[in-house]
């Protein structure tokens, strides 16, 4: 009888350990799935125009993809840990309503003031800054577009994602598109006139 109760006790203990391990594994799997389920899928574009007096106005549009599961609450533009990549310090920076901007060395931190003003999945917001470097200088500066987006505070929250802000290439204006056939016609007339003069 004693042998039977000892075996029974061992079986119960093993069953309890197995159950605890199974529950722990399920709990960890749920936590991991929850963490992996939160995602940021940011993208950005920048364009600049001469503002006069050696300054340039830049417009930065940051978007959160519609398949992302977490809004963007802040981002650090032209930065990686330990590196600041703008050609020089901007003179000023601003965000949309509800956002603040802080110039940090040769980079800019933009932060939302509340969850109501975050960049929600499927939306975008426009930011700006003024600097003394041209678009050509910005484009020639290595890593100047590298940016980190965060679900919370800048450099202190997860999830986060690194992405590259790309330069908007201006489209040719309608006037220049209309000028192309005109130039071709003028060249044709000029060549026709030259051939008649040589005859």
Output b/e per residue, 28-45; b: 16+ Cβ within 10 A.
eeeeeeeeeeebbbbbbb
Q: What span, in angstroms and rounded, lies between the C-alpha atoms of 192 and 62?
A: 53
Here the tokens at position 140 are 């020639």
Count Cβ atoms below 10 Å from residue 130 Cβ, excluding itself.
15
**Local confidence pLDDT in tens for the 199 residues of the chain:** 445 454 455 454 454 444 444 343 444 344 333 344 579 999 999 999 999 999 999 999 999 999 999 999 999 999 999 999 999 999 999 999 999 999 999 999 999 999 999 999 999 999 999 999 999 999 999 999 999 999 999 988 888 999 999 987 655 554 455 556 655 655 666 566 555 556 5
What pLDDT, on a 0 to 100 scale, did the predictor assign at position 71? 97
Q: What span, in angstroms and rounded, lies between the C-alpha atoms of 75 and 168?
A: 19
Q: What span, in angstroms and rounded, lies between the C-alpha atoms of 135 and 154?
A: 26
Here the tokens at position 148 are 């980190």
Of the candidates 163, 70, 164, the one whose C-alpha atom is nearest the C-alpha of residue 121 is: 70
Q: End-to-end distance of the chain based on CA atoms, in angstroms?
A: 128
Q: What span, in angstroms and rounded, lies between the C-alpha atoms of 85 and 175?
A: 36
What pLDDT, on a 0 to 100 scale, did the predictor assign at position 195? 56
**How large is the C-alpha radius of gyration of the chain?**
30
Which residue blocks in 38-156 are alpha helix, DSSP H? 135-140
């Amino acid at each position: 009888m004693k042998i039977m109760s000892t075996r029974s006790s061992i079986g119960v203990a093993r069953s309890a350990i197995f159950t605890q391990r199974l529950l722990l594994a399920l709990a960890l799997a749920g936590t991991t799935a929850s963490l992996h389920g939160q995602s940021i899928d940011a993208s950005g574009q920048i364009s600049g125009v001469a503002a006069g007096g050696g300054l340039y106005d830049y417009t930065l549009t940051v978007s959160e993809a519609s398949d992302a599961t977490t809004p963007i609450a802040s981002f650090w533009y032209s930065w990686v840990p330990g590196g600041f990549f703008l050609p020089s310090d901007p003179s000023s920076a601003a965000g949309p309503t509800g956002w603040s901007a802080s110039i940090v060395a040769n980079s800019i931190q933009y932060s939302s003031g509340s969850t109501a003003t975050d960049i929600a999945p499927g939306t975008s917001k426009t930011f700006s800054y003024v600097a003394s470097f041209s678009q050509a200088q910005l484009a020639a500066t290595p890593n100047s577009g590298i940016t980190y987006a965060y679900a919370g505070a800048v450099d202190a929250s997860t999830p986060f994602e690194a992405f590259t802000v790309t330069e908007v290439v201006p489209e040719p204006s309608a006037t220049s598109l209309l000028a192309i056939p005109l130039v071709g016609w003028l060249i044709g007339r000029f060549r026709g006139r030259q051939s008649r003069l040589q005859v």
